[in-house]
Amino acid sequence: MPKRVLQGVVISDKQDKTVVVKVERRFTHPVMKKTVRRTKHYHAHDENNTAKVGDTVSIEESKPISKLKTWVLVNQAKA
């Protein structure tokens, strides 16, 4: 089974080797037929502490690294 890859924006880089990424998804509401935006925060492993706040990054699913971290930083584009 392929690993999921999500794209989002780094909102926190204060922790060592960890970034918090905000991922937004859009979908059409089943009753209202209106486009709805939902956001979720993911903790991702950043081995070299390269990502900074505001960077657009891709994260990939991985085995659990800690209690909250089950994602790994794949690549990033500077803000």
- Average pLDDT, integer, range 4-31: 97
Integer Cα distance of 21 and 35 in angstroms? 22
Torsional class of 74: left (φ above 0), alpha (ψ -120 to 50), beta (otherwise): alpha
Residue 24's pLDDT band (boundaries 50, 70, 90)? very high
- Average pLDDT, integer, range 53-57: 96
**CATH number, domain containing residue 57:** 2.40.50.140
Number of domains in the chain: 1
User: What does pTM read for this prediction?
Assistant: 0.89
Q: Which two tokens stand for residue 60?
A: 């990939």
Range in 6-10, 40-44, 73-77 with the lowest mean pLDDT: 73-77
Residue 79 has pLDDT above 70, yes or no: no
* DSSP structure class, residue 26: E
Instruction: Provide the domain limits for residue 33.
Output: 5-77
Tokens 């979720």: give the residue. Answer: 40
Average pLDDT, the chain: 95
